[in-house]
Structure 1
Amino acid sequence: MKSNLFSALLLLVSALSFSQTSKSAKIFLDSTWNETTEAKHKYYRIIKDYYSDKDSYTVCDYYKSGSLQMAGTSKTKDRLQKEGQFVYYYENGNKESMASYTNGSQTGKKYNWYQNGQKKSETEYFIDNNTRYPSYKIIQFWDINGNQKIIDGNGEYETKTDNFYETGKMANGLKHGIWEGNIKSLNLNYKENYENGTLLLGVTTDSQNIKYEYTSASTMPGPKKGLKHFYQFFGTNFKITNEARINNITGNMALNFNIEGDGGVAEIKVVKGLGYGLDEEAIRVIKSYKGWEPAKSRGIGYKVQYYIPITIK
């Protein structure tokens, strides 16, 4: 009897220990995939084994309805650094796309499907030798009715959803000539001129008939003068507090914040802190840095969440 009781207690302790070490985290996200409150969320993210130290973490995103939206693996738990295969789904449960990532960059083949389950396209991602940015070729493309419009990289591309429309010609898998499109939710139209996949000039016209010229369809957010310039600024302006100095506090910190469409910063949060006044000092220095470049899509800036690690020695 004692032996059975001991075994039952051992199993209970083991189960409790496992549940604590393998506990997942749940994050609520808005329509732009920025963190928000439960009351305002459109999606939510489950990060499995969040409270364990691992080389990678299983991440699943869900629609507000509870339907699976994405499944994949991240190399970090406090921001999504994609690694390996990612699969996205429509809310009706049909597969939307499947792609592979290495160190956060898309690589190799990507497959897309329409919401009704029919094949849409086969694309291939690569690093452009001139810009060093990821680019892609459209190898095969089918319209919503199952008619193949692009065969082995050549043909006419046209895609249309409730919110987005785009059309243009492909040559050897690359955009060539005039491409046109519109984004209904933003009430804007754009026209772009390509030569063998290189964007020569694009012009976006917004709802107020204001035009934005650009030579890159999208640009990444970050310090305008590069990360080296930011870290030099941080090192010059960051002041170690007396409390931290007395206690010999060193180590790694990490912060999240929004880079707004105009280049301003907001909602700075310490993801990993050191305490002793150092967290507040890091926030102060980031607020004082005025050289942020916003993310841009077709010449127009928009808000994104940015992650930056900091080492205090």
Structure 2
Amino acid sequence: MKKLVLLLTLISSICQGQKIYQPGEVESMAEPAGSGALLNEFISSNVQVPFRSSYQGMNARVFIRGVVETDGSMSAIEIIKGQDSLCNLEAIRVMGLYKAWKPGRVKNEPVRQYVNYSIPFKAATVADFDSTAWAIIMYYDSKFRKLDQPAGAEYRSVLPLDEDGNVKADIVYHQQMGRGKWKEVSRIPFKKEEFWYSHTETPAKDSIAAFRLSVEDNSQLNYVPVKVFQKNGKLLEYRRFTENRKPDLIKSYYLSGLLRERDIFSDSTCMNTKWFPNGQLASLVQKSAGSGEFSEELQIIQAFKPNGEVQVKEGNGWWRIVGNHGKYVEQGEVQMGKRHGKWIGKLADSTVFYKELYDKGKLLEGVSYKDGKERTYQEKMIQPVFQGGMPAFYQFLGQNIVYPADAARKGVSGRVMISFVVCEDGSLCDYKLEKGVKSDIDQEALRVVQKMDGKWNPGVLRGEKVRVKYNLPVNFQLQ
């Protein structure tokens, strides 16, 4: 009998633990860690509005109900009031990614609780989209100036899209031949490249087979974002550019499909936002466009812990940064958005690898520790530089580049992008053609870059010479 009573008590306890409470039944209701505003920002940043639902423009909401579990996740998500099936599925996907809830409580114990929430779906009308051709069609006059309508057009470009709004084939340019007939005059190749994707922050953890969709339009008439997907269709990376090929928006994603990091660029600044894997906002930092993580131009606006605890608010607080997937930790005071006072960096085994002293963002002094050596410094990062500076660099290019005869004869021009590594001794290695124009032009750019070997001063990080990857655009323009 005692065993039976014990068994019944155990079953009763389990059932009690599995009960799902209504909001009015709990003493403390479930809520997003950090704040509701942060959850709304997470939702708006992660929702990928289905193209088929929104190409004519959209401003709607999907209402869901789910169960906030005691571990901070949401399960059993269902649609209360939806839109079409694509939007409904996207709403469920996004809410399932967010695992930063503070669960409801009864008698100070976390419990499962129902929560209702709404997910906005907003999208502007897709400009120049022709739904009958399922393509973006642009029209131009005789001088290739874009027109708002087909009437009077001398040329047009056709960019075919798949059902999800991704480019799927070459951009084709046509010339008006009269009587509604068009003749193809050129095309820009569509590329679907399969490769092994490795994120720079966590390469061992987030490496996966992927494919990249892109169209390189050297005429600069169309501006097609570059997208990288996992094999299962989840987005890994998104890059959008302005008319002059400068980055406008860059996003990278965790393998789960959750947005990891976003850079929004303006003329002179970049707003960088990072999220933890559970969906909690990690940091919001403004930096000068083009500056790296070691720049003193950083403006630290907000920072949080994964549980939603505030570290930096309105530019003031104490920031603890976990880097390279837990391999090191940096921490120190932040005042008016800048590093201030003593900062210290430790490896995963608690070994100190640097100490630095700041005055409102300006590094006063630093000392690094490695291999039993101490190195003092007044600049955290010194970038590699061509010996003699930029004037000597451009002079070297001008004196050494030879325009390939065949390319010149055919009127081929463009920008070649070469990457290489400046080693600790100033030598160059790991040359790679990142973006080409034509084989002979590409080879000439590579030849000139290789000729720079030994003409660089190496980069220095915290007093130690280090290898630094460098990206160099080489322009070939006929006069």
The 1:111–1:254 alpha-carbon spacing in structure 2 relative to 1, beyond 3 Å, is closer
The one-letter code matched in structure 1 to 2:305 is D
Partner residue in 2 for 1:7? none
Counterpart code for 1:136 = L
Quote the residue 1:304 is aligned against: 469
Letter in 2 for 1:204: S
Picking from 449, 455, 477, the partner of 1:291 is 455
Question: d(CA) in 2 for partners of 1:59 and 1:158?
Answer: 33
Establish whether residue 50 from structure 1 lines up as the match of residue 216 from structure 2.
Answer: yes
Q: Distance in 2 between matches of 1:299 and 1:247?
A: 50
Question: Does the aligned pair in 1 maintain the 2:211–2:231 contact within 8 Å?
Answer: no
Mapping 1:267-278, distance limit 5 Å = 267-269=430-432, 271-273=436-438, 275=440
Corresponding residue number in structure 2 for 1:36: none
RMSD: 4.1
Report the Cα distance in structure 1 between the residues aligned to 2:280 and 2:319, rounded to whole angstroms.
16
**Residue 92 in structure 1 maps to residue 256 in structure 2:** yes
- Which residue in the other structure is 1:111 paired with? 273
Quickly say closer, same or farther: Cα 1:159–1:245, change in 2 above 3 A: closer
Q: How many Å separate the matches in 1 of 2:458 and 2:387? A: 9
Larger radius of gyration: 2
**Paired position in structure 2 for 1:225:** 388
Measured at CA, do residues 30 and 134 of structure 1 come closer, stay the same or move farther in structure 2, by a change above 3 Å? farther
Distance 2:301 2:237 in 1: 24
Give secondary structure in 1 for the equivalent of 2:399: helix
- Contact 2:299 2:315 (8 Å CA) reproduced: yes
Q: 1:67 to 1:28 in 2, by over 3 A?
A: same
Q: How does 1:63-212 map to 2 (within 5 A)?
A: 67-75=234-242, 81-83=246-248, 85-102=249-266, 106-107=269-270, 109-126=271-288, 135-160=297-322, 161-182=325-346, 189-206=353-370, 208-212=371-375
Change in Cα spacing, 1:145 to 1:284, as seen in structure 2 (3 Å) is: closer
Q: Which runs of 5+ in 1 are unaligned?
A: 1-9, 34-40, 128-132
Aligned partner of residue 308 in structure 2, secondary structure: coil
Q: 1:20 and 2:185 equivalent?
A: no
Distance 1:72 1:286, change over 3 A: closer
* Conserved 8 A contact 1:259-1:292: no
Secondary structure of 1:56 counterpart: coil
Equivalent pair of 1:258/1:305 in contact (CA under 8 Å): yes
Q: Is the 8 A contact 1:251 1:274 kept in 2?
A: no
Q: Kindly tell me: are residues 152 and 74 of structure 1, through their superposed partners in 2, closer, same or farther at Cα, counting changes over 3 Å? A: same
Compared CA separation, residues 216 and 57, structure 1 to 2 (3 A): farther
User: Percent sequence identity over matched residues?
Assistant: 22
The alpha-carbon deviation at position 219 of structure 1 amounts to: 4.0
Change (3 A) 1:69 1:226: farther
Instruction: State whether residues 419 and 472 of structure 2, in contact with CA within 8 Å, keep that contact through their aligned partners in structure 1.
Output: yes
Please state whether the residue corresponding to 2:216 is helix, strand or coil: coil
* TM-score under structure 1 length normalisation: 0.69
Between the aligned partners of 1:69 and 1:246, the Cα distance in structure 2 is 39
Range that drifts further, 139-148 or 221-230:
221-230
Return closer, same or farther for 1:61/1:280 CA change in 2, 3 Å cut-off.
Answer: closer
Q: CA 1:23–1:141 in 2, change beyond 3 Å: closer, same or farther? A: same
Write the letter of the residue equivalent to 1:177.
G
The one-letter amino acid of 2:332's match is G
Q: CA deviation at 1:72?
A: 2.7
Change (3 A) 1:27 1:256: farther
Offset of 1:96 from its aligned partner? 2.3
Secondary structure at the aligned position of 2:423 is classed as coil
Does structure 1 conserve the Cα–Cα contact (< 8 Å) formed by 2:358 and 2:365? yes
Q: 1:141–1:293: structure 2 CA closer, same or farther, 3 Å change rule? A: same
Q: 1:264 aligns with which of 410, 427, 447?
A: 427
> Residues 43 and 260 of structure 1: is their aligned pair in 2 closer, same or farther, counting only changes over 3 Å?
farther
Deviations 1:27-85 (A, max 9, x none): 6466476xxxxxxx7575624223674453312345688643332313599xx9421x3
Aligned to 2:379: 216
- 1:218-271 CA distance string (max 9 Å, x none): 344452433321121233345678x66995978555241312332322344562
Q: Using the alignment, how far apart are the partners of 2:193 and 2:431 within structure 1? A: 20
Task: Mark the CA change 1:253 to 1:94 in structure 2 (over 3 Å): closer, same or farther.
Answer: closer
- Partner SS, residue 111 of structure 1: strand
User: Is contact 1:253–1:274 with CA below 8 Å preserved after alignment?
Assistant: no
Over 3 Å counting, the alpha-carbon distance change for 1:157 and 1:219 in structure 2 is same
Query: 2:233, 2:227 → 1: CA distance?
Result: 11
